[in-house]
């Protein structure tokens, strides 16, 4: 939701923090701010709107130079996106500054108590109480890390907090509960950040913090950090905490636009590689699957009698497709559920249930809460995740990482394709260990999956007519999407992309549902995208959707038909025909989704929208 950076080192903290915030701006862009410790005091600046507004402010009103600082880019929860509500928040004396991601649920009570004790709070945020509480605690203990521990014990909710105090100019302190915070350890410098992207250009050594931990990074201290910087981790009560060090396996260029106008364009183009990378090392020389990282023993997988997939947004659409693959290949009943609804309906789970939690960021709060609920009921949880060391894989029994590399654009693209690949692998692996499929059948699908990356590449090479079509529709108000079987989640995904990027009314329907209501929406010239299943395999579905296309066209719809090469039956009814390579039925979403991503991106551009940072959104949704 929000992006946080903290820095201690030998460089200009302002420059380092601003550079970090630029890489985290995808997490939230309602306002931003920085605080720097310099000349025995604390100087701060903050501004509503995008980071560029803050940069302009800093040109007009430069901050003094200092080598310790913090920064924040915000996705507003409590209080609108104004200058006053922007972070950092300071205490009344202006000695402590704090930035925050998450929600302090008991802030109203704390605020009232602070007011009674004479504190003046000037913003509408939940965060500001923390600055005042830190100031109070610091005045009694004289140690920022201890003050943070005392304050965290009073807070309910989810939070990452990073703070500095003018009396400790060599220290930045952070804390986390149910919200991400990583430490970067460089040569004589250290970073606290919501995401490694903030410091990847300076170091690839990171430390993953656990739940309910406080970290102090100190210049010229002693301890486990690099020369000149120490890092110490405790729990909220001061007991030494365990934290895992790891090396970040992607380099700085992965978080750059690399010549593309938008991250989204780059990420769409990276899909063939992302798909291939997600298969890498998971297929043995004989073509069988090897998922060594699955820490759930085969004996447990053999006993599974139900699979439940939980996820949100685009990841949920991947989960809908996973259901079809799991049931088809393993014959185990599988349900896919919106993570935000899951735990509120008292789902039936036990030790024989395998829950698959899909999340690009690994931080989505709804998904995290769903998996915690599942584990409490005794179910085994397998995470499908793109972010090493994030909370969801850490709290799961096992994880299968998607190797998409960092996804910066808010609209998910390459993560979706790799989530599909990972889910296919899980489904096939289940089929393999349970003997639901013969070895040669598994190998056949694995071989087909290995060929898909080349097919995604071919789709990308033929996208110019799709872009042209998208531009021609920039003035439309509504676009509908239809699909059946695996094409239905693809239709939902196409509609979601268009909503979030082009701010247009877009809806996806199961084509069979048309006659039960949605067909009333069809009017002259209404663009309707139809994802057509292969005429091979489930030809009965193909024939039915061809009828659906005729029905809507007869009522004036402008039909945009996505169909595989060689499918001639759709030609007479397609106002626009988008060809995709022929693939096995279940794998078709890997190619049919790509034109819809390109379509939404181009339409948003034509409408003058911010492609990477759509309004009101943020990349990882760390609040419920």
Q: Which residues are catalytic?
A: 2, 619
Name the residue among 531, 510, 508, 519 with its Cα closest to residue 555. Answer: 519
Q: Please identify, using beta-carbon distances, which residue of 126 and 500 lies nearer to ligand M6R.
A: 500
List the one residue from 213, 353, 360, 391 that touches ligand M6R (CB under 6 A).
Answer: 360
Q: Residue 430 contacts by C-beta under 8 Å, 6 or more apart in sequence? A: 301, 304, 307, 326, 329, 330, 332, 354, 436
| Sheet with 478-483, edge to edge strand ranges | 505-510, 478-483, 527-531, 558-564, 576-580
Distance in angstroms (rounded) separating the CA atoms of residues 200 and 221:
23
CB 133, min distance to ligand M6R, A:
31
In Å, how far are 149, 327, 404, 443, 503 from 283, measured between CA atoms? 47, 22, 18, 9, 41
> Which one among 97, 294, 449, 621 touches ligand M6R, defined by CB under 6 A?
621
Q: Does 620 participate in binding ligand M6R (rule CB under 6 A)?
A: yes
185: phi then psi, degrees, rounded to nearest 5? -115, 110
**How near is the Cβ of 497 to ligand M6R at its closest, in Å?**
6
Q: How far apart are CA 72 and CA 618, in angstroms?
A: 14
Write out the binding residues for ligand M6R, residues 7-36 only, by CB under 6 A: none
If one asks whether residue 410 binds ligand M6R (CB under 6 A), the answer comes out as yes
Shortest distance, position 137 Cβ to ligand M6R, whole Å: 34
Least distance (Å) between residue 367 CB and ligand M6R:
5
Interacting stretch for ligand M6R, rule CB under 6 A, among 2-10, 319-327, 408-416, 598-606? Answer: 408-416
Consecutive H or E run containing 174: strand 171-177
**Distance (Å, rounded) from C-alpha 10 to C-alpha 20?**
16
Cβ-proximal residue to ligand M6R, closest one = 313
Shortest distance, CB of residue 29 to ligand M6R, whole angstroms? 14
Cβ proximity to ligand M6R: between 483 and 535 the closer is 483
Say whether residue 364 binds ligand M6R (CB under 6 A).
Answer: yes
Residue (85 or 314) nearer to ligand M6R, CB: 314
Of 497-516, which residues contact ligand M6R (CB under 6 A)? 500
Instruction: Sort 458 into a burial class: Cβ within 10 Å, 0-12 / 13-18 / 19+.
Output: middle
Q: Per-residue contact track with ligand M6R, 260 to 299, x per CB under 6 A?
A: ----------------------------------------
Closest to ligand M6R by CB, 313 vs 487, is 313
Counting contacts by CB under 6 A, is residue 319 touching ligand M6R? no
Instruction: Please say which residue, 272 or 393, places its beta carbon nearer to ligand M6R.
Output: 393
| Pairing state between β 31-38 and 68-74 | antiparallel
Instruction: Write down the least CB distance from residue 385 to ligand M6R, Å.
Output: 8
- At closest approach, how far in Å is the CB of 365 from ligand M6R? 9
Q: Does 359 bind ligand M6R (CB under 6 A)?
A: yes
- Closer to ligand M6R at the Cβ: 85 or 391? 391
Considering only residues 448-487, where is the footprint of ligand M6R by CB under 6 A? none
Q: Is 312 in the site for ligand M6R (CB under 6 A)?
A: yes
Question: Of 77, 137, 402, 412, which lies in the binding site for ligand M6R, with binding defined by CB under 6 A?
Answer: 412
Pairing of strands 205-208, 380-385: unpaired
Does residue 382 bind ligand M6R (CB under 6 A)?
no
Residues 535-564 that bind ligand M6R (CB under 6 A): none
**What is the token pair recorded at 124?**
């509408």
Q: Which of 388, 365, 368 is nearest to 101 (CA)?
A: 365
CB nearer to ligand M6R: pick between 73 and 230: 73
Q: Is 147 in the site for ligand M6R (CB under 6 A)?
A: no
3-state helix, strand, coil in the chain (%, to 5): 40, 25, 35
Q: What is the contact mask toward ligand M6R in residues 41 to 80, using x (rule: CB under 6 A)?
A: ----------------------------------------
- Tally the C-alpha atoms within 13 A of residue 565's C-alpha that lie toward its C-beta: 9
Pairing between β-strand 505-510 and β-strand 558-564 as defined by DSSP bridges: unpaired
Residue 361 touching ligand M6R (CB under 6 A): yes
180 near ligand M6R (CB under 6 A): no
Contacts of residue 4, defined as CB under 8 A and 6 or more positions apart, other chains included, come to 24, 70, 71, 72, 99, 100, 101, 160, 162, 181, 192, 193, 194
Per-residue tokens: 234: 């405790």
* Selected binder of ligand M6R within 101, 314, 330, 613 (CB under 6 A): 314
Are 317 and 483 within 8 A, CB to CB?
no
C-alpha 373, offset from chain centre: 21
Nearer to ligand M6R, 533 or 614 (CB): 614
Smallest gap from residue 106 Cβ to ligand M6R (A): 26
Stretch that binds ligand M6R, among 175-183, 247-255, 258-266, 309-317 (CB under 6 A): 309-317
Q: Which of 146, 159, 43 is nearest to 90 (CA)?
A: 43
Q: Does 315 bind ligand M6R (CB under 6 A)?
A: yes
Q: Does 313 bind ligand M6R (CB under 6 A)?
A: yes
Quickly list H helices, 80-200.
107-116, 128-141, 144-152
Q: Smallest distance, Å, CB 35 to ligand M6R?
A: 29
Nearer to ligand M6R, 499 or 555 (CB): 499
Measuring CA to CA, how many Å separate 454 from each of 263, 274, 423, 591?
22, 11, 19, 10
Q: At 144, give phi and psi (nearest 5°).
A: -65, -40
Site of interaction with ligand M6R (CB under 6 A): 312-315, 359-361, 364, 367, 410-412, 496, 500, 620-621
């Amino acid at each position: 939701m929000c992006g946080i950076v903290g820095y201690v080192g030998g460089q200009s903290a302002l420059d380092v923090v601003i550079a970090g915030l630029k890489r985290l701006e995808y997490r939230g862009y309602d306002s931003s701010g920085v605080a720097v410790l310099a000349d025995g005091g604390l100087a701060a600046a903050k501004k509503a709107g995008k980071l560029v507004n803050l940069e302009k402010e800093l040109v007009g009103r430069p901050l003094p130079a200092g080598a310790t600082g913090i920064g924040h880019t915000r996705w507003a929860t409590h209080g609108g996106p104004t200058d006053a509500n922007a972070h950092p928040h300071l205490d009344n004396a202006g000695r402590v500054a704090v930035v925050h991601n998450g929600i302090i649920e008991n802030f109203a009570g704390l605020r009232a108590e602070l007011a009674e004790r004479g504190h003046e709070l000037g913003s509408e945020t939940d965060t500001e109480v923390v600055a005042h509480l830190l100031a109070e605690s610091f005045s009694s203990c004289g140690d920022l890390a201890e003050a943070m521990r005392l304050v965290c014990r009073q807070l309910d909710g989810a939070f990452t907090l990073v703070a500095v105090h003018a009396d400790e100019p060599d220290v930045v302190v952070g804390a986390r509960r149910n919200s991400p915070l990583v430490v970067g350890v460089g040569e004589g410098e250290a970073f606290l950040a919501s995401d490694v992207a903030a410091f990847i250009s300076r170091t690839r050594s990171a430390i993953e913090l656990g739940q309910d931990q406080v970290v102090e990074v100190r210049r010229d201290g002693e301890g486990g950090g690099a020369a000149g910087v120490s890092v110490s981790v405790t729990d909220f009560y001061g007991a030494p905490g365990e934290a895992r060090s790891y090396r970040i396996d992607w380099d700085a260029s992965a978080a750059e636009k690399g010549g593309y106008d938008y991250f989204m364009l780059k990420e769409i183009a990276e899909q063939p590689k992302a798909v291939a990378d997600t298969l890498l090392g998971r297929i043995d020389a004989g073509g069988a699957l090897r998922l060594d990282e699955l820490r759930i023993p085969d004996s447990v997988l053999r006993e599974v009698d139900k699979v439940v997939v939980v996820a949100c947004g685009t990841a949920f659409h991947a989960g809908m497709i996973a259901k079809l693959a799991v049931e088809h290949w393993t014959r185990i009943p599988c349900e896919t559920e919106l993570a935000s609804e899951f735990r509120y309906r008292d789902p039936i789970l036990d030790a024989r249930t395998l829950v698959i939690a899909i999340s690009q960021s690994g931080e989505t709060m709804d998904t995290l809460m769903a998996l915690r609920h599942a584990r409490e009921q005794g179910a085994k949880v397998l995470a499908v995740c793109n972010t090493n060391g994030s909370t969801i894989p850490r709290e799961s029994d096992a994880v299968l990482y998607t190797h998409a590399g960092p996804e910066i654009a808010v609209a998910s693209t390459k993560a979706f394709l790799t989530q599909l690949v990972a889910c296919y692998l899980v489904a096939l692996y289940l089929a393999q260990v349970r003997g639901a499929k013969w070895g040669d059948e598994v190998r056949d699908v694995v071989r087909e999956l290995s060929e898909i990356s080349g097919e995604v590449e071919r789709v990308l090479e033929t996208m110019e007519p799709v872009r042209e079509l998208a531009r021609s529709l920039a003035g439309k108000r509504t676009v509908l999407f239809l699909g059946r079987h695996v094409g239905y989640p693809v239709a939902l995904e196409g509609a979601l992309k268009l909503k979030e990027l082009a701010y247009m009314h877009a809806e996806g329907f199961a084509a069979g549902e048309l006659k039960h209501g949605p067909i009333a929406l069809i009017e002259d010239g209404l663009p309707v995208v139809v994802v057509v299943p292969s005429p091979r395999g489930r030809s009965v579905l193909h024939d039915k959707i061809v009828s659906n296309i005729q029905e809507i066209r007869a009522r004036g719809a402008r039909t945009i038909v996505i169909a595989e090469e060689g499918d001639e039956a759709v030609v007479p009814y397609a106002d626009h025909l988008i060809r995709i390579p022929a693939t096995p039925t279940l794998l078709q979403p890997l190619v049919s989704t790509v034109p819809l991503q390109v379509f939404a991106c181009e339409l948003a551009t034509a409408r003058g929208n911010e492609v990477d940072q759509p309004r009101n959104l943020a990349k990882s949704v760390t609040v419920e």
